[in-house]
Amino acid sequence: MILPALTEAESPFWRPIKYSLFPPLGLATLAAYLSSDDEIDLQDQHVEILRLDDNPDLVIIQVYITNAYRAYRIADHYRKQGVYTLLGGLHVTSLPDEAMQHADTIFTGPGEDTFPAFLKDFKRKAPQKIYKSAMRSIETIPPIRRDLIKRNMYLVPNSIVVSRGCPHHCTFCYKDAFFEGGKTFYTQAVDGALAEIERLPGKHLYFLDDHLLGNIRFSEALFEGMKGMNRVFQGAATVDSILRGPLIEKAAEAGLRSLFVGFETFSPQNLKQSNKKQNMEKDYIKAVNRLHSLGIMINGSFVFGLDEDDKDVFKRTVEWGVKNGITTSTYHILTPYPGTALFKSMQMQGRIKTLNWDLYDTRNVVYQTFNLSPSELEEGYRWAYKEFYSWNNIFKSSASHDSMKHRLKHLFYAGGWKKFEPVWNFLIKTGNLNNMLPVLESILSKVRYETNSIIGHQKISSIGKLKVLSGNIHPNR
């Protein structure tokens, strides 16, 4: 089982730490369907040098858009030797005809139903050329083969996914393309998710779900079950789900300490272009304040290059993030991935400028822009990163929090993430990355507020606890 490195691995922007965070969970999930007698070698090129001189019965390669060419070369290499080769993943689902030229069998969509079906066919020597996922359920998936993961190579070995997909339909997102032909959002059984959490050692968890608060009943039960487990965790959710409450309070009680939030843009027109309904007419600052009042740090995601964006968008976005105490920002240049609604509409308008998938890495402009030239967009993108992560702005942004502990957490988290590259590289080279986990856990420890703070029209009394709320906690109703 191989995860080839993304093309960024060879670019000047390559940050080894960024690609040493999470183990290849998708492949380890599929490995669970193999027999316990099968000898499995799970290789992740982001953290190790691939060994391709073997001759296995089966090679399984996960394909993203910016590792596609590399994945195809590896597949061709094995097929030349007569090894049966499978390709699956986001890019294969978007462009099955392209992938088919390099594989004996391809998979489109998630593999929980199709991979076991393939294995049966393979054993009776009658595999099909293509398996399309239609039945979608992860209620009874077998435990992930975490024994195949080289834990010491990753900063966050305890990554976990308890749902698939997302209830929303943003035009630039892969989600709809990947889940076409079946359910686009579904969860594990709560008991199964809790059992998976129990199996993970240590304290820290990183939920890689697209939207951890997407199914209210499921998430409520999950957080209820996690209370008392003494975990700290990170995850992702949408602006509307944060404002809706009280789920976010329950998440904080269960141990949520940092959240990835897709703000993407401040322009209503851009939100419309992106079909980002969950952000429309929502008060971003209220969402930010609510998270901060719960001691939750924020990783804000922002997209540059939507049609309304002008030359000021970079400055506006960085200043907003610094002023509002966003801990880390992830900036992207708009990228129309094949298979998405955005790609289709740009293609119809003749705006796609290249089909070189290596450039579809959210750092390059691959489409015809409107108000900004491609070089303005690329320069602005790079400027935004540099500016947001200047020490000056890290200090300024940290200082915006009420409590000293939150200020320090912000400072260490943002500074540690962006300013100590040689230290990270040393830890990666010496195989000691996992030893940093206790540091991360302590940075993610609970913030206890000693003052009363006002969020919008709500008063939050938070002496020692995060939960005691009075007044209407549904500001959008």
Q: Where do contacts with ligand SF4 occur on this chain (CB under 6 A)? A: 166, 168-170, 173, 175, 210-211, 238, 262
CB nearer ligand SF4, residue 106 or residue 239: 239
Nearest Cα residue to 167 out of 180, 190, 186? 186
CB nearer ligand SF4, residue 332 or residue 353: 332
What distance in Å separates the CA atoms of residue 425 and residue 431, rounded to the nearest whole number?
10
DSSP secondary structure, 201-270, as one string: -SSEEEE--S-TTSSHHHHHHHHHHHTTS--EEEEEE-HHHHHH-SHHHHHHHHTEEEEEEEEE-S-HHH
Do 458 and 470 form a contact (C-beta atoms < 8 A)?
yes
Length of the chain counted residue by residue: 477
| Least Cβ distance, residue 337 to ligand SF4 (angstroms) | 11
- Count of beta carbons in the 10 Å neighbourhood of residue 58: 19
CB nearer ligand SF4, residue 107 or residue 337: 337
- H or E element in which residue 419 lies: helix 404-419
**Six-digit token string for 56:** 């296995």
CB nearer ligand SF4, residue 20 or residue 234: 234
| Least Cβ distance, residue 168 to ligand SF4 (angstroms) | 4
**3-state secondary structure labels for all residues of 267-301:** CHHHHHHCCCHHHCCCCHHHHHHHHHHCCCEEEEE
| Least Cβ distance, residue 332 to ligand SF4 (angstroms) | 11
| Least Cβ distance, residue 358 to ligand SF4 (angstroms) | 22
CA trace torsion 85, 88, 91, 93 (10° rounding): 120
* Strand boundaries in 265-405, DSSP class E: 297-304, 328-333
CB nearer ligand SF4, residue 29 or residue 238: 238
| Least Cβ distance, residue 468 to ligand SF4 (angstroms) | 31
| Least Cβ distance, residue 256 to ligand SF4 (angstroms) | 18
| Least Cβ distance, residue 176 to ligand SF4 (angstroms) | 7
Do 110 and 33 form a contact (C-beta atoms < 8 A)?
no
What distance in Å separates the CA atoms of residue 78 and residue 59, rounded to the nearest whole number?
8
DSSP state, 352?
B
| Least Cβ distance, residue 235 to ligand SF4 (angstroms) | 12
| Least Cβ distance, residue 163 to ligand SF4 (angstroms) | 11
CB nearer ligand SF4, residue 78 or residue 172: 172
CB nearer ligand SF4, residue 59 or residue 173: 173
What distance in Å separates the CA atoms of residue 153 and residue 286, rounded to the nearest whole number?
38
CB nearer ligand SF4, residue 79 or residue 332: 332
CB nearer ligand SF4, residue 47 or residue 161: 161
